[in-house]
Amino acid sequence: GQIIHLEDYRPTDFVLERVDLTFELDPKETKVEARLILHRREGVDASAPLVLDGDELVMTGLLLDQEELAATLYDVTDDTLTIRGLPEAAPFEVTITTLLSPETNTKLMGLYRTNSVYCTQCEAEGFRRITYFPDRPDVLAVYTVNIIADKKSAPLLLSNGNYLGGADMGDGRHFAAWFDPHPKPSYLFALVAGDLGVVEDTFTTLSGRDVALKIYVEHGKEPRASYAMDALKRSMKWDEDAFGREYDLDIFMIVAVSDFNMGAMENKGLNVFNDKYVLADPETATDADYANIEAIIAHEYFHNWTGNRITCRDWFQLCLKEGLTVYRDHEFSADMRSRAVKRIAEVRHLKSEQFPEDAGPLAHPVRPTKYREINNFYTTTVYEKGSEVTRMLATILGRDLFKKGMDLYFERHDGQAVTIEDFIACFAEVSGRDLSQFSLWYHQAGTPLVTASGVYDAAKQTFTLSLEQTVPATPGQSAKEPMHIPLRMGLLLEDGAEADLSSVTGADITGDVLHLTERKQTVVFSGITSRPVPSFNRGFSAPINLHIEQSDDDLALIARHESDLFARWQALNAIALANLVSATADVRAGKSVTVERALIDGLIGAAADDTLEPAFRSQALSLPSEADIAREIGADNDPDAIHTARQQVLKAIAVTGRETFLRLADEMASKAAFSPDAESAGRRALRNAALTYLVHGEDNPARAAEAFAAADNMTDLSHALALLAHRFPDAPETAQALATFRKRFADNALVIDKWFAVQATIPGAGTLDRIKTLMTEPLFNGNNPNRVRSLIGSYAFANPTGFNRADGEGYRFLAKQILDIDPRNPQLAARILTSMRSWRSLEDVRAGHARNALKEIVSATKLSADVSDIVERMLK
């Protein structure tokens, strides 16, 4: 594919007024008739042709104003249909007939079949696989959709908007018509047809309109959709309360399908979901599953305003809807759950997924300026960093001005396809602030590094802070400008009180936000009565790396006394990370590992502190991951040494904390019936964290096996299974638990995904053979994206020692799998390949093997644009 540049954007030559679509559904040969009403945009040359996008289409008819078009007036290429000789000013009608084969559409883009259900996925460029069309987000039109299908196999016929009516056709088929009054881009089109069960409810909006809510799932799975329904109603209410946004159709539908490339899709009025993010009950879903369902139901619903009513001018603006909508779903979850615990989980995710992306060959700005394959830009940078940028805007402006800016955005741009500049202009206008420096967050890739050091002058009672920021070079961007970094902070005094920050020179401070805007800034605080311990980046107010020389004692003080709970966790995490890095160096030097007292005391102290909520204590106990340690080390990584070091630290904490962990395992055990609420989930998390330590402090699997046998919900069951498999992979107890689990859940694909994932993440070189055997298992299905992600994705993304085998076999295996998946489902192949994004930070031998595996992929004869884009950027 060729490279698309932001600077080349220009509006279409033709304006699309209306779209009428008729589908005659058939698994092998679906006929689509698309009637497009268009007119030439004012000022466009009268000879300019109409160029429509297409992808793997078979066209069997082409009419202009109902007349067959002469062959001399149009051309068809692999990806376009060009029509010449069109009216100069008057509207005209183009009618295109195409034939599709949903059954053989393994790319899962456009119209495809999943479990005998017809389903569509059009974002980003899937609509062009249905008909020739101006398939870009700035072409907004009103759609009417007629669906004709076999009545028996497809009793349900759904599309966007409101239901107009339907009828029996007398020949075993029936038809339904839908009309969506809201102009929309083609990527929000959806059609679903099939035989599904439904869960129904209603929601009354703030202005008193009743909206019918329907969640469609496979027959028999209806009870497992009730949590999703509850989450939907809470989302609708929250968007009214928090953002004043009301729903705008008579009906809101969600369909859960089992073959889906992404998490979910926000099609207008008809969201389509990966069933993983809809279906839940205590027996089959973990607390993490419940939290994900709540967040993703909210996310897709919130898109109705941030994405659908106001959409993107072009795909470079993807963060306009995604970053903003992630921010909104984060705020929703924070309001539904514990804000601090939610923030810790978000930051863990950001650091483990987005920071490595931003530090490697795939780094790109939140708002990129070029792409080859847009599917490859649905990244953690666009989503998660995009959300953080929105959060910083709210931090800088303050709650009221941020809200005013959002209100202006909704009012001014409703019904439009806009840009990041349009969005920022609303906030600049309501606040009177110049946000041009802040906007660099959208344009400069790379995680900024802030270094800080402080000097206390007891005689003058001043504290002088020297701050410096650098933004690392990233592909295509060598020199960077200083950014506006809003750093929330506090100065903790010896008695645990907080210093007043108002007497300051060298920086603007609003509340507890220090505005770092220069490359170097010297900030002097006066009236500081004792040597202060600075606590930076409270609530992770800015997505940065922070380097500050701080003693374990000072960090421990923050961990005990900070008013910001997130900052307490951050301090504990900093103590742990430094210790894990030095332990790794110890292992590589052949020395015994030192575990600092501050770490052991800090963790056990937090765990034992009954004044803190259990969910927070479980987060405090959860050590940085092996990937976190590798990222902190940065270069020349040996995953085996990291694993050994981490295991030894874990064991030392386990031994010292044994009494505490025994107490927690007992006290946190639930006697009540299962409830998925955040508080109950927090108790389970703390109990399982305690169990993890206990099991690591013992050398037999009895405790984990007992936990497995006693578990009465999936959170506890899958945790016990992972403890057994990861700590005692070869024990008979493990083999037995795996067999029991498989037998019990063989009919439940989502649970079997967990069974594959737990085995794919067993540490050590031996896991590759296990995976090869699992691929021959009858339950393995290489065509189902969830299944492929659970086995191959988990191995490549979440098994540092297993995947990064010193002999390179893990990389060679992955290369082979990528080449196997790519022809069927390029999007899936490209996504899994990004697991190798940090290969350059490995030690030389492994890095050499990784490079060779990537070269093997790049030299394959036929690669999709998706995979070749990723592999070429990774080798550059």
Residues tagged active-site: 300
Choose, by CB under 6 A, the member of 53, 55, 123, 512 that binds ligand DPP: 123
Q: How would you classify the pairing of strands 513-516 and 508-510?
A: antiparallel
Residues contacting ligand DPP: total by CB under 6 A: 8
For residue 300, the minimal CB distance to ligand DPP (Å) is 6
Smallest gap from residue 273 Cβ to Zn ion (A): 12
- For ligand DPP, which residue has the nearest CB? 265
CA 228, 229, 232, 237 dihedral sign is negative
Among Zn ion, ligand DPP, none, residue 864 binds (CB under 5-8 Å by kind): none
Q: How far is the CB of 384 from ligand DPP (least distance, A)?
A: 11
| Residue 759 · residue 774 · CB < 8 Å | yes
SS3 of 311-327: the string is: EECCHHHHHHHHHHHHH
Cβ 303 to Zn ion shortest distance, Å:
6
C-alpha dihedral (723, 726, 732, 734), degrees to nearest 10: 50
The one of Zn ion, ligand DPP, none whose footprint includes residue 649, by CB under 5 to 8 A per kind, is: none
Least Å distance, CB 295 to ligand DPP, is 11
Q: Which of 406, 343, 367, 368 is closest to 543 using CA atoms? A: 343
User: CB under 6 A: which stretch of 218-226, 257-265, 581-589, 651-659 binds ligand DPP?
Assistant: 257-265
| Positions in 627-686 near ligand DPP (CB under 6 A) | none
HEC-encoded secondary structure of 463-518:
EEEEEEEECCCECCECCCCCCCEEEEEEEECCCCCECCCCCEECCEEECCEEEECC
Q: Which two tokens stand for residue 868?
A: 């070749």
CB of 183 to Zn ion, least distance (A): 20
Q: Give the span between the Cα atoms of 606 and 584, in whole angstroms.
A: 25
- 866 near ligand DPP (CB under 6 A): no
Q: Measured from the CB of residue 794, what is the shortest distance to ligand DPP in angstroms?
A: 21
Structure-token match 């053989």, residue found: 104
Q: Cβ atoms within 10 A of the Cβ of 153, count?
A: 15
**For ligand DPP, the closer CB: 20 or 322:** 322
Judge whether 701 and 689 are in contact, CB under 8 Å.
no
By CB under 5 A, the residues from 181 to 200 that bind Zn ion are none
CB of 84 to ligand DPP, least distance (A): 35
123 binds, among Zn ion, ligand DPP, none (CB under 5 to 8 A by kind): ligand DPP
Q: How far apart are CA 788 and CA 775, in angstroms?
A: 10
Residue (258 or 545) nearer to ligand DPP, CB: 258
Closer of 295 and 580 to ligand DPP (Cβ)? 295
* Under rule CB under 6 A, residue 264 binds ligand DPP: yes
Which of ligand DPP, Zn ion, none lies near 440, with the C-beta cut-off 5 to 8 A by kind? none
Q: Which is nearer to ligand DPP, 271 or 715 (CB)?
A: 271
822 counts as binding ligand DPP under rule CB under 6 A: no
List CB contacts of 37: < 8 A, sequence separation 6 or more.
16, 17, 18, 19, 91, 92, 93
Confirm if 482 and 519 have CB atoms less than 8 A apart: yes
- In whole angstroms, the minimum distance from the beta carbon of 294 to ligand DPP comes to 15
Cβ proximity to ligand DPP: between 289 and 322 the closer is 322
Which tokens in the block code for residue 311? Answer: 């959409």
When the beta carbons of 325 and 469 are compared against Zn ion, the nearer one is 325
Convert 602-629 to b/e letters by CB count within 10 Å (16 or more is b): bbbbbbeeeebbbbbbbbbbbbbbbbbb
Q: Which residues contact residue 421 at a Cβ distance below 8 angstroms, ignoring those fewer than 6 apart?
A: 439
- Residue 640's binding partner out of Zn ion, ligand DPP, none, with CB under 5 to 8 Å set by partner kind: none
Residue closer to ligand DPP, measured from CB, 379 or 656:
379
Q: What is the residue whose two structure tokens read 């070269």? A: 855
Judged by beta carbon, residue 190 or residue 598, the one nearer ligand DPP is 190
Q: With binding defined as CB under 6 A, does residue 322 bind ligand DPP?
A: yes
Within 319-348, which residues bind Zn ion (CB under 5 A)? 322, 325
Site residues (CB under 5 A) for Zn ion, limited to 720-739:
none
User: In the bound complex, what is the minimum distance in angstroms from residue 303's beta carbon to ligand DPP?
Assistant: 6
266 belongs to the binding site for ligand DPP (CB under 6 A): yes
25 binds, among Zn ion, ligand DPP, none (CB under 5 to 8 A by kind): none
Stretch that binds ligand DPP, among 77-85, 244-252, 262-270, 535-543 (CB under 6 A): 262-270
Contact 278, 707 (CB under 8 A): no
Measured from the CB atom, is 278 or 760 closer to ligand DPP?
A: 278
Nearest to ligand DPP of 123, 135 (CB atom): 123
Q: How many residues bind Zn ion (CB under 5 A)?
A: 2
In the list 15, 62, 236, 262, the residue contacting ligand DPP (rule: CB under 6 A) is 262
Partner that binds at residue 613, options Zn ion, ligand DPP, none, CB closer than 5 to 8 Å by kind:
none
Beta-bridge partner residues of 302: none
**Which span (138-146, 199-207, 264-272, 646-654) binds ligand DPP, by CB under 6 A?**
264-272
The DSSP call for residue 354 is I
Q: Which of these ranges, 55-63, 202-210, 317-325, 579-587, lies near Zn ion under the rule CB under 5 A?
A: 317-325
Q: Are 149 and 200 in contact (CB under 8 A)?
A: no
Distance CA 339, CA 345 (A): 10
End-to-end CA separation in angstroms for the chain: 17
Q: Which helix (H) or strand (E) holds 456?
A: strand 449-457
Quote the tokens at residue 18.
């209306």
Build a one-symbol-per-residue string for 284-303: x at contacts with ligand DPP by CB under 6 A, - elsewhere.
---------------xx---
**How many other β-carbons are positioned within 10 Å of the β-carbon of residue 670?**
14
What is the SS3 assignment for 170?
A: coil
Site stretch for ligand DPP (CB under 6 A), options 164-172, 259-267, 730-738, 785-793: 259-267
Give the one entry of ligand DPP, Zn ion, none that residue 20 binds, where binding means its C-beta sits below a cut-off of 5 to 8 angstroms depending on kind.
none
d(CA 597, CA 743): 45
Q: Which does 265 bind (CB under 5 to 8 A by kind): ligand DPP, Zn ion, none?
A: ligand DPP
Q: How far is the CB of 253 from ligand DPP (least distance, A)?
A: 15
Question: Which 143-202 positions form the footprint of ligand DPP (CB under 6 A)?
Answer: none
Torsion sign across C-alpha atoms 695, 700, 705, 707:
negative
Only segment of 151-159, 258-266, 414-422, 760-768 that touches ligand DPP (CB under 6 A) = 258-266
Shortest Å distance, C-beta 231 to Zn ion: 16
Q: Which of residues 374-393 bind ligand DPP (CB under 6 A)?
A: none
Whether 541 and 610 have beta carbons less than 8 Å apart is answered as: no
Q: Is 353 in the site for ligand DPP (CB under 6 A)?
A: no
Contacts with 53 (C-beta within 8 Å, 6 or more apart), sequence order: 79, 80, 125, 128, 132, 133, 134, 135, 136
850 binds, among ligand DPP, Zn ion, none (CB under 5 to 8 A by kind): none
Phi, psi dihedral angles at 216 (to 5 degrees): -100, 130
Find the radius of gyration of the CA atoms of the chain.
28
d(CA 716, CA 708): 7
**Nearest one of 735, 738, 736 to 718, comparing CA atoms:** 738
In whole angstroms, how close is the CB of 262 to ligand DPP at the nearest point?
Answer: 5
For Zn ion, the binding residues in 787-846 under the rule CB under 5 A are none
264 binds, among Zn ion, ligand DPP, none (CB under 5 to 8 A by kind): ligand DPP
In whole angstroms, what is the distance from residue 721 CA to residue 743 CA?
Answer: 14
Binding site for ligand DPP (CB under 6 A): 123, 262, 264-266, 299-300, 322
Binding site for Zn ion (CB under 5 A): 322, 325
